[in-house]
Structure 1
Amino acid sequence: MNQVEVLIVGAGLHGLVMGKTYLEVCPGANLLVVDQASSIGGTWAEERIYPGLKTNNLVGSYELSDFPMDPEQHGLKVGEHIPGHTVHQYLHEFAEHFGLYEHILLRTKVVSATLLQDGSWQVTLNSLPISESAQPSVHNVFAEKIVLATGLTSEAYLPTFQGQDEFQGTILHSRQLAARAADLSASQNTVIIGGNKSAWDASYLAARSGAHVDMVIRPSGGGPSFAWPAYFKLWGFKTSLSRLASTRIFTCFDPSPLGYTGPFSLFRRFLHRTSLGRKILFRFWRSMDACIKKLNGYDEYPELEKLKPFITPFWMGNSLSILNYESNWFDLVRDGKIDVHIANVASLSKTKVRLSDGTILNADTLVYCTGWKAGPSAKLTPEGVMATTSFPTQPSGADSSLQVDVVESIYNMVPYLRTLPRRESNAPRVAECQCSTRKTNTKRPFRLYRLTVPSDRQYLSAKNLAFLGAHASIYTVMMAQVQALWATAFFLGKLEHLNAPNLDIESIEYNAIFDSVYEKIRRPKETGGLGDKYPDLVFDSLAYIDVLLRDLGLKVKRKKSFFKEMFEPYQLSDYRGLVQEWKRTRACTELKR
């Protein structure tokens, strides 16, 4: 297969959904999906699933709208979190059902993609050998269009510490928890670096295996993750974080500019632009904050108090954690099996970790739960392509000037974002925190129109490049489906406002810049947000989906009544048959012409 219509890089959720969507719109298309892993699934590839791994999602909320998961077949019950191995099996069944395997090449890495004069791509692929003694084979494929669908968890970020070469124990990244599970189980003194969801998972695994765990959390970062129960009571009603964040009335409590042209925009304006509205707004977020802190009992035990989040739920991004463990995580702290340290790692020695507050920890295993590098999953050439495709690059002078204008525009739209405290009183003051080994991100964040395509005229005209999953969201599946359909429509020239003569390049570029700058303000790194790298969506996920649906000419309000639209959570079933719905809509539009 030397020539393909579409090359999709990544066989995780986003890549699989893109493949299914494009083939549903264009049956028989010459399409290729490549992934360097040995199995499909991306984050849920078989080789990345460590013991006890579960989704933050409950049964029914991590499945494709057109291919519901059968709980009974997988031994699941309603209200349970889905085990990682079940997600992998489900994605395997999905790929089989929609005939995707015949289009997939595993153990294949994209070395580079070179843009040719005719707008197509010459892609160099490296087929990875099965055995260490075998040699990799390199070959070229020519693609009309490329989709980079590797998401945000493909390349690990690994900090370096003074004395690291002297350390005699095991060092691993959270990505290796599956492959190195035996090493973690054998550990006696495990130091976990980080406070995100993977750090909570690694701490639980090590402590349950008999190790003493020291969890080290940077004082200058976002602090410990918000740890949410699967269900909790708020104002006397049983609910969950996912239900709140997918219910229209509660999404209005997020200041996202995307929502000012969507459903209930007047109510949103009232909440964010009037003094009475802001009182209601802040009462909502404070109620959630008080609820979760009381449920987790941070003030009941000195060591647990260190896990009290540095922020309120208003600033919370996708570093949040769901308590989906077999036993009470906090009991491991109460029993002295996990100690928490708010400090930086100062240095390492043979068997010790020295912290910035002078504490010295015994360690035979270090687990870096330090996140992922934000960047391309493939090298794009020739020189200069990386910048014009909106990958993070050093900002130009023109960028800086425009960003100042955009910042003022955002603060005029949502004035309280300028003055609202970002960290709580229990959080260390950032200015007083000792220097961390983590480098400051001086690069601009991802800058993509609709978070999907470059805003550069060259690519908008050629319609030959798209990115899927270059964001974090609490609603991965829901967003993946709509984004894949939007990208398919874009490739086929079916988004009218992106076709000549309707193409307003200045408006599109401003829109892309506005979104990236807003994300940096809305999810700042001192709150644990990732907005300085890529979009980090929680209560604003539904508003983003609405924007894509409007571009596609599809119905945004998908509930049967005003009451349900306002108060009933959106579910994946609300988007069932979306591709066929779009095809019918397009057929009617073209017939009228």
Structure 2
Amino acid sequence: MTSTHFDVIIVGAGPFGIIAAKTYLELNPIASLALLETDTSLGGAWSKSRIYPGMYSQSPLGMIEFSDVPMKPTPQHYKNCVPAHHVHEYLASYVATHIYDGKSIRDRIHLDTRVVSVQKWYGPPDGAGNRSGRGGSAWVVGTDRGQTIICSKIMIAGGITSRPYIPFFNAPDFTPPILHTEDSARLAPTLMEPGCVRNVIVIGGSKSAIDAVHMFISAGKQVDWIISDKGSDHPGMCVAGRAPVYFKRSHRILSTRLMSKLSPCIFQPPDGWMRFFHQTRVGRWTTNTVWSTMQSAWLKAARYGRSGDMSSLRPQLPMFWRSDDIGVSNPHNFWRTMSQANVHRSSIDRVENSSVVLANTTTLPCDLLIMSTSWEVTFPFFAPADASTLGLPQILEAAADRTILSMFPKLARPPNFDRHPVNTTQFYIYRGIVSPRESREGDNSIVFLGQVGAAQSFHIAETQSIWAAAYLMGKLRLPSVEEMEMDIALTNAWRRRRYLSVGERKLTFMHDELAYVSMLLRDLGINHKRKYGRLKELFQPYSNKDYRGMLEEWRMIQKEREQDGETETVYEESRTSSPGIAAL
């Protein structure tokens, strides 16, 4: 890296960072921009170091691509889900072929460069002696290579799977290696050798645990799978090729506007559909029937009753309440392979020597311990003062919780579930992208991208990138700070009610992605109803091609507004996108 001054720094070179760079450079082609990536390979979750044997995408072709460049089909697909290396190759080609001011996006990515500090530098104080963003500010970024980089704007695009969480075991005599699933992918070629390890223990019920179990059983290892006996830790697995009604794929029905209306979601305007499905007896019966029908179809395909171990994998929480632990059984012979795991529904009492002792006194031999224990949603590189400034008090959320329950009564009666301890404070950002406190200071120099739990991340990344670019360029007028704080409180109360334990830890909306994208498009003034005709809009599944041309649409809107003398984009539906604000 020859320069230490940039217009824009992007932290992270996964899908969110890549499309953020592309969008910003489309609008500002001569801007000096760099992406800093900790890994030795671009791609984030699709980097070479995180791809393990047999890893497939959880989204089919048409949903795991950017709208301007379709992903090429591959004969290696399984029910239109593609091998992970195919996704990596797509991203590598994407950054190499998008060139601005003589430099490709690939030329701007600095690999093996970890950001260790991000601190805000304020300009001279104003006439009243206050130091704020209005007086000019910059961000000072430090890396593990000893570099100090100064930039005018910064995008944090590391995503929610950047820092693995590994529980602490006070067992100095425990000899087997303890790895997070992130490391198991990198070390897979060695670990899967016949003479390396034999007895593998996988802890956790998430999708990454499912992948690890499948990988090691396929390699001929003896796998013991420990899943907590608490309600929310059951793995939730869906089937790519089984969906009710006339849809051929499960992803297709979940990508319809109708299913978006059937989920109690705060991102949608309070139209007649929302009132019918969630506030009338007949509507709630219809909603429950549709969700139950889908769940029955997926459970039937798994045949959980084929063995005792398989019956232990049967999800306890209904599909309606599940979030980012839903996966797609895309490999060949998936269920037959999974049925070979020894499943233990128990907590761990202790680890010692080369064994793991469960709370039910069962002792398991162990050569390798794999932790599928989620990720830490933290930003350790921020200075404490800046981290505090980017936060938001929780004072409004009691009233917000009452509002959510009045809008969606079903959320007041969740099933029994285990509340995982939350070891970090909440991170409060409007729309999942910007800090209200920065806006209070008149500073639009920082955005957060990819801090959401969702399945169809590519079209969310693309929409967020346009919203973020508009904000950074001063083309987006936000509501008042008070309105943003109420909106954040309402969203946080909703996600905790809607997605239970996972919703308490992070912004997640597995069944509400279409509504979230539509909300961002309404903010931008872009038409969010991308189908032609009411029936198609309601029943036809959305794919990434439906969002083709979004950036050009926004450019045309800006051009028309500039001709009319407007200098900023106004939130035409900012209040309707969060229907509970008026009630608050």
Shift of 1:275: 0.7
1:492 to 424, 448, 473: 473
Give 3-state SS (helix, strand or coil) of 2:382's partner: strand
Which residue matches 1:434? none
Shift of 1:224: 2.5
Q: After superposition, give the CA deviation of every residue in 1:297-338 in whole Å (9 maximum; x if it has no partner).
A: 1123222110000111110101111111132x332354xx31
CA distance in structure 2 between the partners assigned to 1:107 and 1:592 by the alignment = 47
What is the RMSD computed on CA atoms of the aligned residues?
A: 1.8
CA distance in structure 2 between the partners assigned to 1:78 and 1:385 by the alignment = 46
Q: Check conservation: 1:12, 1:150, Cα contact below 8 A.
A: yes
Q: How does 1:410-489 map to 2 (within 5 A)?
A: 410-422=404-416, 430=418, 440-441=421-422, 443-458=424-439, 461-489=442-470
Which residue matches 1:170? 177
CA distance in structure 2 between the partners assigned to 1:17 and 1:523 by the alignment = 28
1:42 to 41, 44, 53: 44
Q: Check conservation: 1:473, 1:541, Cα contact below 8 A.
A: yes
Q: Check conservation: 2:10, 2:17, Cα contact below 8 A.
A: yes
Q: After superposition, give the CA deviation of every residue in 1:560-582 in whole Å (9 maximum; x if it has no partner).
A: 11111011001101111211111
2:487 to 473, 492, 511: 511
CA distance in structure 2 between the partners assigned to 1:78 and 1:60 by the alignment = 14
Which residue matches 2:117? 112
Q: TM-score, normalised to structure 1's length?
A: 0.88
Amino acid at match of 1:145: K
Which residue matches 1:123? 140
Which residue matches 1:547? 519
Shift of 1:583: 0.5
Which residue matches 2:580? none
Q: After superposition, give the CA deviation of every residue in 1:56-106 in whole Å (9 maximum; x if it has no partner).
A: 0112221110011121xx545583311111111110000011120222111
Q: After superposition, give the CA deviation of every residue in 1:86-133 in whole Å (9 maximum; x if it has no partner).
A: 111110000011120222111111111111112433434335xxxxxx
Shift of 1:295: 1.5
Amino acid at match of 1:54: Y
Amino acid at match of 2:345: I
Q: Check conservation: 1:457, 1:505, Cα contact below 8 A.
A: no
Give 3-state SS (helix, strand or coil) of 1:288's partner: helix
1:140 to 120, 134, 148: 148
Q: After superposition, give the CA deviation of every residue in 1:174-203 in whole Å (9 maximum; x if it has no partner).
A: 001222112244321111001111111111
Amino acid at match of 1:273: Q
Amino acid at match of 1:102: D
CA distance in structure 2 between the partners assigned to 1:171 and 1:289 by the alignment = 35
Q: Does 1:149 align with 2:125?
A: no
- Structure 1 169/421 Cα, relative in aligned 2: closer, same or farther at 3 Å? closer
Q: How does 1:65-464 map to 2 (within 5 A)?
A: 65-71=67-73, 74-76=74-76, 79-98=79-98, 99-118=104-123, 119=133, 120-126=137-143, 137-163=145-171, 165-181=172-188, 182-185=190-193, 186-220=196-230, 222-235=232-245, 237-261=246-270, 265-327=271-333, 329-334=334-339, 337-376=340-379, 378-381=380-383, 383-390=384-391, 399=394, 401-422=395-416, 430=418, 440-441=421-422, 443-458=424-439, 461-464=442-445
Give 3-state SS (helix, strand or coil) of 2:185's partner: coil
Q: Does 1:591 align with 2:563?
A: yes
CA distance in structure 1 between the partners assigned to 2:496 and 2:150 by the alignment = 36
Q: After superposition, give the CA deviation of every residue in 1:325-365 in whole Å (9 maximum; x if it has no partner).
A: 132x332354xx31111111111111111011111111111
CA distance in structure 2 between the partners assigned to 1:333 and 1:589 by the alignment = 57
Q: Check conservation: 2:243, 2:298, Cα contact below 8 A.
A: no
Query: Which stretches of structure 1, 4 residues or more, deviate above 4 A after TM superposition?
Result: 74-78, 457-460
Q: Check conservation: 2:240, 2:251, Cα contact below 8 A.
A: no
CA distance in structure 1 between the partners assigned to 2:115 and 2:138 by the alignment = 12
Shift of 1:162: 4.0
CA distance in structure 2 between the partners assigned to 1:194 and 1:372 by the alignment = 12
Give 3-state SS (helix, strand or coil) of 2:232's partner: coil
CA distance in structure 2 between the partners assigned to 1:445 and 1:240 by the alignment = 36
Which residue matches 1:435? none
CA distance in structure 2 between the partners assigned to 1:139 and 1:294 by the alignment = 56
CA distance in structure 1 between the partners assigned to 2:222 and 2:438 by the alignment = 56
CA distance in structure 1 between the partners assigned to 2:424 and 2:42 by the alignment = 32
Q: TM-score, normalised to structure 2's length?
A: 0.89
- Structure 1 94/82 Cα, relative in aligned 2: closer, same or farther at 3 Å? same
Shift of 1:509: 1.2
Amino acid at match of 1:126: T
Equivalenced residue count is 543
CA distance in structure 1 between the partners assigned to 2:511 and 2:45 by the alignment = 23
**Unpaired segments ≥5 residues, structure 1:** 128-136, 424-429, 432-437
Shift of 1:459: 6.2
CA distance in structure 1 between the partners assigned to 2:474 and 2:209 by the alignment = 44
Amino acid at match of 1:309: P
Q: Check conservation: 1:59, 1:76, Cα contact below 8 A.
A: no
Q: Check conservation: 2:35, 2:110, Cα contact below 8 A.
A: yes
Shift of 1:243: 1.2
CA distance in structure 2 between the partners assigned to 1:585 and 1:283 by the alignment = 42
Which residue matches 2:540? 568
- Structure 1 515/47 Cα, relative in aligned 2: closer, same or farther at 3 Å? same
